[in-house]
Amino acid sequence: MATPTEGDDASSLRIPVEQLLDRYGDGVAPIVQSGDPVLRSVARQYEGQLDNEVLSALVELMRRTMHAAPGVGLAAPQIGLPVQLAVLEDSAAVGEEIASTRERYPQEFLVILNPTYAPASLRTADFPEGCLSVTGYHAMVRRHADVTLRYIDLGGTSRLAEFTGWPARIVQHETDHLNGVLYVDKAEPGTLTEVTETPPVSSQ
């Protein structure tokens, strides 16, 4: 069997992306649910397989889908695309007590490609977490309270950024998605709970 060429790899991503954009236009994409293999696979590295116009359109589709859910983060596998791309944004529109307890600070819209994170301190935090790909449930998850994120931005520049509190949780949750990991894999035993309203962290 022939070794796939760079062009083959680009086509294998570009074609499903263009189909997704053609189908949903200026609307929102359906969110893949737990059980779909795409959520359990390590997404491929983004290496310029899409031209700037298509990549920008995909990012905007993901942003609309995240907002409509509503959520504070969305990874490409959650709309069926196995590529290392995620978007995050959080207005932190919660009460002062919750914001203080959870260190939930506003996070401006951010696009991350090929992200990796590492703890930036010894601090950890336990809070309930949910996911738009595991609808109807949330669970307590212990995460690093401070992380350093390496990623490529939308312009192709390598970046290094520090996140703390709730934004650090979002970063970890989304990056985990790109490695085939769901929050339930890291949940504290016995804490998975059925909910009838939007979970505290939706779509991460």
**Domain CATH number, residue 54:** 3.90.45.10
CB burial string 189-201: b at 16+ within 10 A, e below: eeeeeeeeeebbb
* CA dihedral sign, ordered 185, 187, 188, 192: negative
148 phi and psi angles, rounded to 5 deg: -105, 130
Answer whether residue 201 is part of any domain.
no
For residue 1, tell me if it sits in a domain.
no
Query: Who contacts 184 (Cβ-Cβ below 8 Å, separation ≥6)?
Result: 34, 131, 134, 137, 139, 192
pLDDT interval class at 8 (50, 70, 90): low
Residue 199: which pLDDT band, with cuts at 50, 70 and 90?
A: very low
Q: Kindly indicate the confidence band of residue 197, based on its pLDDT and cuts at 50, 70 and 90.
A: low
The domain in which residue 114 lies consists of 6-14+30-194
**Is residue 68 a part of any domain in this protein?**
yes
Q: Is residue 148 part of a domain?
A: yes
Any domain includes 167: yes
Q: Is the residue at 48 inside a domain?
A: yes
Q: Work out the widest C-alpha separation in the chain, in whole angstroms.
A: 60
Average pLDDT of span 119-134: 97
Query: Does residue 174 have an active-site annotation?
Result: yes
The rounded distance, in Å, linking the Cα atoms of 199 and 99 is 15
Q: Per the residue annotation, which of 53, 174, 188, 197 is the catalytic one?
A: 174
Number of domains in the chain: 1
Specify the pTM. 0.91
Cβ atoms of 193 and 184 closer than 8 Å: no
Give percent above pLDDT 90 in the chain.
83
- CA-to-CA distance for 73 and 97, rounded, in angstroms? 22
